[in-house]
Structures are given as C-alpha cells and as structure tokens.
Amino acid sequence: MKAVRFALRSFARELRSGEVVVLLLSVALAVAALTAVGFLTDRIGKSVARQANEILAADIRLRSPEPIPPQWRQAAEAHSLDTAETQTFPSVVFAGDESSLTTVKGVSADYPLRGHVRISDRLFSEQYEVDDIPQPGTVWADGALMARLGISVGDTVSVGEADLEVAAVLTYRPDQSIGFASLAPSILVNLGDMPRTGLITEGSRVGYALLVAGEEDAVNSFYDAVEETLPDSVRVRNREDSSGRAGDAADRAERFLSLTAVISVLLSAVAIAMSARRFTHRRMDTVALMKSLGASQRFIITAASVQIVLLGVLGIVIGCAVGFSAEKLITSMLADLFQSDLPDPGLAPVALGSAVALILVIGFAMPALVQLRNTPPLRVLRHDAIPPPPSRLFVAGSSLLAVAALLYSVIGDGRMLLIVLAGMLVISGSLYVVGRGLVVLIGRSRGGVGVAWRYGLANVARRGRDSAVQIVAFGLGLTVLLLLTFVRTELLESWQQSLAEDAPNQFLINIQPQERDSIAAIFEQADIAAPDFVPLVRARMSTINGEDVKTREYPAEDGRWMANREANLSWATTLSDSNELLEGEWWDADYQGPPLVSVEEEAALEMGVGLGDQLNFMIAGQEVELTIASLRRIDWNSFRPNFFMVLSPGALEDYPATYVASLKIDATEKGVLLTLVRAHPTVSVIDLDAILEQVQSIMDKASLAVQAVFVFTLAAGIAVLFAAVQSTIDERRFESAMLRALGARRRTVLAGVLTEFAALGFAAGLLASAGASILAYIIAVNLFELDYDFSPGLWLAGLLGGTLLVCVSGFIAARGAINAPPIDVLRAA
C-alpha cells in the first residue's frame, strides 16, 4: 500500500511537472487513433455490409416451396426485426391478343427491406428510386415485357383472372437475378392482388420467401432460433454466402479497412515503445536516489507499475474522448456522401481501444521496468552508471507477443496478420542492419564540409546504435505512411479499374440460333459493334465418378447445391480473356476426341473433383460423359458471359442450344434495345447499369472510409517521428548548452541538428521506399488479388518526403532544447 500511495502522490507531481507528458500523449494518441478508426470502420463497415445486402433485398432471406409459416414471422417480430414476403412464379400475361411468359413477383408492403426499387415513366427513359410498391390494382412491368406485348404505361394486362393497370416501367429491383436462370421478363404485383389472379392453387410451383432485416445481433439470434425448425427444402441466403459481385466488393472493402486498422496499431506500438524507453531513462536518477535511501526493488517496481497503469487509464480516457469527437466530426462531414444514414456504432471500438492500449503499454513498458528495477544506487554519484538492459530476446519476445495478440484481436485474419507483421519485422531488421552501415559510412565521410555539417554528421556517427534505432523508428513510420499515401491510392485505383470502363451493361438472353444474324444486323445498323454470341445448353448432373449426385458426400454444402442444380453448359474453342487456366491443358481449336470439360476452381473445390474425374450430365433425355481436362479461375468482375463448366468443341453440337451475349451501350443508344425486343420478342434484355452502380457505390464508400481513417494513421506516424526525436532530447539539450557556452551560435547548432535529422531522414526514406514497395506488392497480389506496378513516384516521395518530414518533426521537437538557456541546463546537470 505504501508503494501505491507513493505512486499516486508522485504521479500527480510528475503530471504537474510534465515529466510523463510524452508517454501520456503517445498512449492517448494511440487510443484516439484506434478508437476513431474503430468507430469509423465499425459504422462504415456496417453501412457497406448493409448496402451489400441489397442483393437479397434483406439481411437474410428464407426461401421455401411452401407458404411461410406464421411462426417464422412471429420469431422475427420477437427479435424486433422487420419482415417482408414475396411470392414468385412463372405465368403467361396477356394484353389483348398478345401474350408473353413472365415471372410474376408478388411483394408485401415493406418490400424491399434493403435497397430501393427503380422505375421509369416510359420505356428506356430516365429511372428513379421509389420507397413503395405497386398500389392495389396496378403492376410495374419489365420494359422487355411491355415491348413484347406492345403496351405502354397506363395500359391494362391480364394476370390470371385479374386485370391490372401498368403504372410504371420496372427497371430494377434489388434481388433481381442476373444469371441465366431467369429467362422471362418480370412484373411486380402487390401481394394483396395475388388472390384475385387465381394463379396460386394446390400444386402450383411458387417460390415463397421471407425477408428479414435489422440489427446484426438480432438477425443472428433470429436465425439461431429458427434454424432447427427449418425443413431441408428451405434455402437460407445472406451476404456472406452470396456469390454476388456486390458481396465480393463488400468483402474487399472490409479488408481495406482492416489493413488500415493494422497499420494504425503498428504505428501506435512503435510510438509507445519509443516513449517508454525515454520514460525509463528519465526515472533512473529518482530510482537510484530511492535505493540509496533504502527503498526495495519490490517497492520500486510496484510504484512504477502503478504509474504505468495510471498512464494507460488516463491515456484511454483522453484518447476515447478525442477519438469519439473526431469520428463524429468526420462522419458529419461525410454524411452527405452516403446514400443512407450510417448505422450507430457499437461499444466494441472503445473496449478494443482500451484493451489494445493496456496491452501495448504493458508489452512495451515491461522490459523498461525491468531495466529500471536494476538501476544501481551508484548512479546518484555517477550519471554514467546505467543498468544493463534486459535480454534482447525477452524484449523482442514480449513485444512481439503483445503486438501479435492485439493485431489478431483487431482483424481476426491470420493471413493478413502474417503478411503485415512479417513484412514489418523484415523491414525493421533491414533498417537496423543497413542503418548501422550508413552510420559508419557517414562517420567516415563527414570531413571536407562545413562546421554545421560536421557537427550534425558527427552526432549521427557518435550515437551509433541510437542513430540506427532512430532510423528504424523513422523508417517504420515512413514505410506505413508511404504505404497508405501512395499504395492506398494505387490499390484503390486498381480495384476500381478491375471494374473495367468497357464492362458490359446489357445482357441478351434466350437468343435462338437463327436470330443471331438478325440481331447482329440491328446493332450494326445503329453503328454499334455486334456482340459475340455464346452458346448455352441446359443440363442436370447425374453422377460424379459413377456416384449419384443426390447421395454423394461433398466437402462443402454449396457443392451439393452446385451438383444438383440445373446447370448451364457452354462450349468454346479458345479460352476467354476473363478466364485463367490454373491446372491441366486447354484443348486445340480443332479437337475431335471424347468430350472434355473445364471446371471453375471454386466449383471443383466445393464438389470435391479434380483433373481426370468423370462428370455425367442428362441433356434432353440423353446422358453425356465428360472428363475434367482443366480448372479455371474466372474474373466475375468482367461481367461477361462466364460458365462454371465449359466443354470442348463438338461435345454439345447435337443438342438444342440458345445463345447469350453481352455488350456495353451508352444511355443515348438505348433506343436500339427497343427495336431489338420488338423485332425479337422472345429475347430478354437485362440492364446491368443498376448493379454496376451498386458495386461502384460500395467501392466509393470504402475509398472514403480509407481516406478518413488515413488522417489518424498519419497522426500516429508523426507521433512515431516525435517519439524517436524525444528519445534523445535530454542529450541534445546538454550538447546544445555546451556548444553555446563555448561560443557556438544558435544558428550553427540548429543547422547541425537539422543536418543530423536530414541524414537520418534520407536513410530512413530510402529504406522505407523499398520496404513500402515490396510490402505493397505482396498485399496487392496476396490479399486483394490485384495487379501492382512499382511506382517511381513512391521512391521520390520517400526520399524527399522522408528528409523533409524528419527535419520538420526534429526541429519542432528539438527547438526547445536548442532554445533553452545554457546556464539553466548546465546547472541542472
């Protein structure tokens, strides 16, 4: 208790005297950065996830061939969740003497729970969002259906026994399919009108769905409550198991945010480590005096530990307040840039920031406390009596364990953790080794320059190990700043460029073989390049290596769905530009042998098949045996016709096939689509513009998040630079006083200090540029699957920016030591 009381009294005095301000500010800045990053990533991450859920029109969707049981809705209401229902089935719609196969979708009042329906007032005109559904007695009809039937807004269509007015053109609904399964255009009907149609009777093939949305924890609790009661026929979908492009974009966005959080944590760790080192050296004289007066090592270590914990707690309080305020300011500035309000943040960032700060303080201060405990009483008389430092293995081990534990708690991504942490360790080691070499080189080459330069370079050489440590600190700070300044921009640009500017925005489906020439002519007459027509054959897999697909065991549940679904098969002579061959070989263009098939890599993995395996399909009542010849990776972001299974030429020539095509059409050219559907009413046109906008919106939102988070990471990086300068500030103050007492002018001393920092900054910038380039390449290729080109601008910025930033940081941090009156410094010494 005496040690605790002493620690509290001395801590209060030290706060008043400013002895622990540097370490306190380092901890507070670390917590502020982590808390602000946590709040921001939590809120924007939820917003990104919520927007990605638009592909389901809900957070979770339960689809069933049977009517939705009341207890499912009751369970959702018990968890305070919003619900909506849909009923989907194919039917023939009539308009006078004209008719067309249509997908009828009945929706309840709250549909959709996520996203918005878009409509227009006439065919191929400007579309806009609406927050309601068709009024009773009306429908919203797909433009392709209206073109086939030759009707306009205001006309009437017959849906079963009900005559309904077409109130608008349906251009987009969030959960619309962009695959090849929905060959018919659709209409949106008020669920209250469905009984009037008389189309749903016993035995009707209707797809019923319950849409559920709300807070993430409540949605998960709801699913846990009903999971055991769900029949095998019910298919549950959420964003995580969706194969939509928007889901992929959201996952990549979360990785960007996680990467930024990791960088912030690493910088905070370095800043606290440097500050804890100075804190220890500042307290050695006090500890030596206490030991000479009879204080025990236990008393000393207890008092120091209490003060460290107090520093951490006070830093957490200040940091959380600053972080919360900063997050509020940034989100208010960015609020107008988002399509919807950001969800309220949870308390997890506060808990995480607090835990991280304590782990950092303990992990990096403990080695310093061990050295403090061993301070000899002789230091009262001899200031050069310094306790031996603890084992480097102990220091490195405790620090690494602390950092690894907190990083894993932040991201939960072992692969990212391994890449980033291993990269930073390699960069740190390289910085230290090369830094020691540069120190020796600078020491040998300082002759033949002015006095200020000689003084500055002599400081670098004389400090030796400390200069190398500063190069490591400066280099790490510059590495991550370069990584998030240049690499951040290039990665985001590469990511956004992965959605190519010429990506198709229109799909043509259900093209008959005899219609290809006519369709090509329609586009050519409009000065639009005719698309490539890709064949499509519907089939069902029957066996895999002789095993029935219905009873076979699969490595993943999605593999069972993949094997039992109605498959879309195609054939090709050459490999598509959006496909990459991973294993096996592609067949020759004139291949005439037994039928072969190339399988998409994830589908093969989920079904548990590989090269040489046999897949049997039933096509038009006949069985076809295929041998897997290769595995492919597909770039789904290309938005071109791609297939899980592509067959060799001739394998499907004797079977009925339709064709699909994709192309990009500008808004001013969309009139050709009206000509197309009127000339070929059986061809379905799917407009992908809304889906492309959805993916792009998620990308833009993630970009804004990374831009905002970068502000705090920049502050943490500057804190590292200041902490590195502060680690030698006492020595600099004494040297400056001695030189000025011996007649040196203040300008000469300042020039020498700036020369020292310029040398350290240049060395750190050179090594940081190399480290940032290599780490950026590894991150881009392995974490984001993007191409990365090494940038000369990054090297130039590393050298110039490193020199300038370190010089400015050093000047601001060291000017107090240079300006201090020599007599006061020498008396205190």
Instruction: Encode pLDDT of 750-768 as tens digits.
Output: 777 777 777 777 877 887 8
DSSP string, 731-757: HHHHHHHHHHHTT--HHHHHHHHHHHH
Q: Are 139 and 167 in contact (CB under 8 A)?
A: yes
SS3 388: coil
Pair type for strands 235-238 and 156-159: unpaired
Orientation angle between helical segments 414-444 and 392-411, nearest 10 degrees: 140
Q: Are 273 and 399 in contact (CB under 8 A)?
A: yes
> What are the contacts of 622-628 at 24+ separation with CB within 8 A?
622/655, 623/542, 624/539, 624/595, 624/651, 624/652, 625/594, 625/595, 626/595, 626/596, 626/597, 626/651, 627/594, 627/595, 627/596, 627/597, 628/584, 628/596, 628/597, 628/598, 628/599, 628/604
CA dist., res. 142 & res. 266, Å (int): 53
CA dist., res. 789 & res. 68, Å (int): 53
pLDDT at position 405 is: 72
Spatial CA neighbour of 301 closest among 390, 385, 383: 390
CA dist., res. 400 & res. 273, Å (int): 12
pLDDT at position 463 is: 59
**What Cα–Cα distance (Å) separates residue 533 from each residue in 289, 430, 517, 520, 642?**
88, 55, 10, 9, 12
Amino acid at 90: P
CA dist., res. 318 & res. 326, Å (int): 12
Q: Which position has the token pair 């889906």?
A: 691
Q: Catalogue the E-assigned strands of 21-137.
A: 60-64, 82-95, 98-107, 117-120, 127-130
Phi, psi of 578 (to 5 degrees): -90, 10
**What Cα–Cα distance (Å) separates residue 438 from each residue in 370, 442, 617, 770?**
31, 6, 68, 16
Count other C-beta atoms under 10 Å from residue 636's C-beta. 14
Pair type for strands 645-647 and 566-571: parallel
CA dist., res. 213 & res. 183, Å (int): 29
Q: Are 258 and 411 in contact (CB under 8 A)?
A: yes
For residue 19 the two structure tokens come to 């002895």
CA atoms within 13 A on the CB side of 439: 20
CA dist., res. 195 & res. 674, Å (int): 33
pLDDT at position 203 is: 65
pLDDT at position 136 is: 93
For residue 659 the two structure tokens come to 């064709």
Sign (positive/negative) of CA torsion 147, 150, 156, 159? negative
pLDDT at position 180 is: 43
What is the DSSP secondary structure assignment for residue 469, as one 8-state letter?
Answer: H
pLDDT at position 367 is: 66
SS3 473: helix
CA dist., res. 481 & res. 772, Å (int): 9
Containing 622, the helix (H) or strand (E) segment is: strand 622-634
CA dist., res. 227 & res. 225, Å (int): 6
pLDDT at position 163 is: 92
Q: Are 706 and 488 in contact (CB under 8 A)?
A: yes
SS3 785: coil
pLDDT at position 148 is: 78
Spatial CA neighbour of 338 closest among 639, 711, 708: 708
Spatial CA neighbour of 391 closest among 408, 373, 409, 367: 367
SS3 643: coil
- Which residues on neighbouring strands pair with residue 619, listed in sequence order? 622
For residue 263 the two structure tokens come to 């960088």
Containing 365, the helix (H) or strand (E) segment is: helix 348-373
Q: Are 151 and 166 in contact (CB under 8 A)?
A: yes
pLDDT at position 250 is: 54
CA dist., res. 552 & res. 559, Å (int): 10
pLDDT mean by block of 10 residues, the chain; 829 residues: 72 62 70 70 64 75 88 90 91 85 90 88 81 93 83 91 92 68 74 89 80 87 84 72 49 64 70 70 71 74 77 82 74 55 64 74 68 66 59 60 68 72 77 73 56 57 64 74 66 58 76 90 89 89 92 86 86 88 91 92 92 92 92 80 90 86 82 80 72 63 61 65 64 67 68 74 80 78 70 79 76 66 57
For residue 776 the two structure tokens come to 């950026």
pLDDT at position 495 is: 56
Check whether the bond before 112 is cis (ω within 30° of 0).
Answer: yes
pLDDT at position 433 is: 79
CA dist., res. 608 & res. 602, Å (int): 10
